[in-house]
Amino acid sequence: MRRSFLAISILSAGASSVFAADVAVKATVVEDRKAVIATVEPVRQLVARARIGGTIAQLKVKEGDEVAAGVEVATVADQKLVLQMQALEQRIRSQQAQRDQARTDFERIQELQRRGVSTQTQLDQARTMLDVAERNLAAMQADYSVIEQQMSEGAVVAPGAGRVLSVPVSQGRVVLPGEIVATIAEDKYILRLRLPERHAQFMQAGQSVQIGARGLQSATGETTREGRVRLVYPEIQAGLVIADVDVDGLGNYFAGERTRVYVSTGKRDALLVPPSAIYTRAGVQFVRLKSGAEIVVQPGEAHPQGVEILSGLRDGDIVVTP
């Protein structure tokens, strides 16, 4: 058994030497990232407006509903238009009777003139009366079409597809022409950043940013995901530069929800080591050099290339990793 234990110890020592690796510590250029808060916003907010004044007869959507482009969201009714249409229908019937009578008189005088009984003056007068009656009828029918169009404009339609954010009206409420009936957010959402103007020189379209976990998920150690700056606005407002970031999967976010975003604020040199080179003993973090010495280190931010060492190592040191 003693020989077996000795053999196992020799094999363990050999395995550790086989799997050990030496890494030279050298200054590496890394991006200095800063955590900022971004707001989830739609690319565009569309508004469905009432085209005529009247009363909300039907309200077909509520906050949170998904609507397609052209879908009717509400109906505005104006009772005065109905009364005007009824009155105009009676006038049109009366004018049609006058037109029919004028046509009958014209045909009779035309026949009498052919027989030589009537004069040309009487025929011209009858033709004029028929033309006046027909034109008056055409004008009334045009007025009727105008009222029909106004009634059809009582249907308030969604100008585009998206999610209904707010409906500031209720059924039975009186609205005026141009009043907002519903506010709709387009399907595509973006993250909107507002950064101090000193960061404007670092922001550019196409730049990569890291998006933090959503809400309480940030406490579970969930990894970040990548987004890209789609637009940097050329105007600085109240000392802030505004930028929009494209990120997949924002459709289930709330409009106005805030999340953490890590943006680049410049580049600097840092000493990086693999995460496996750092080990903890008695609450203190160490790395082992190739010489066998153990060095107390202060780890910093984790980067894709490794963990930054704030103190304890120098450029050119060689650390051992398992």
Buried b (16+ CB within 10 A) or exposed e, 89-105: eeebeebeebbeebeeb
Q: Are residues 181 and 314 in the same domain?
A: no
CATH number of the structural domain spanning residue 215: 2.40.30.170
- Are 97 and 67 in the same domain? no
Candidates 21, 3, 110, 27; CA nearest to 314 is 27
User: For 176, left (φ over 0), alpha (ψ -120 to 50), or beta?
Assistant: beta
The verdict on residue 10 lying in a domain is: no
Smallest CA-to-CA distance from 64 within 288, 252, 233 is with 252
Give Cα separations from 98 to 104, 131, 265, 296 (angstroms).
Answer: 10, 11, 83, 109
Question: Are residues 174 and 125 both part of a single domain?
Answer: no
- 122-179 pLDDT, tens digit per residue, is 888 999 999 999 999 999 999 999 888 888 888 999 998 888 999 999 998 999 999 9
Identify which of 8-12, 34-38, 40-44, 177-181 has the greatest average pLDDT.
177-181
SS3 270: strand
Radius of gyration of the chain (CA): 40
Q: Is the pLDDT of residue 19 over 70?
A: no
Q: What is the pLDDT of residue 260?
A: 87
Written as six digits, the tokens of 131 are: 């033309």
In tens, the pLDDT along 281-306 reads 888 989 888 888 888 898 887 877 88
Phi, then psi, of 223 in degrees rounded to 5:
-70, 155
Q: pLDDT by residue (tens digit) across 198-233?
A: 877 788 888 888 888 776 455 445 567 888 898 888
Cβ count near 297 (within 10 Å): 21
Angle at 88 between CA 83 and CA 92, to 5 degrees: 155
Q: Of 5-14, 103-112, 126-135, 239-248, which range is least confident?
A: 5-14
Structural domain harbouring 125 = 79-152
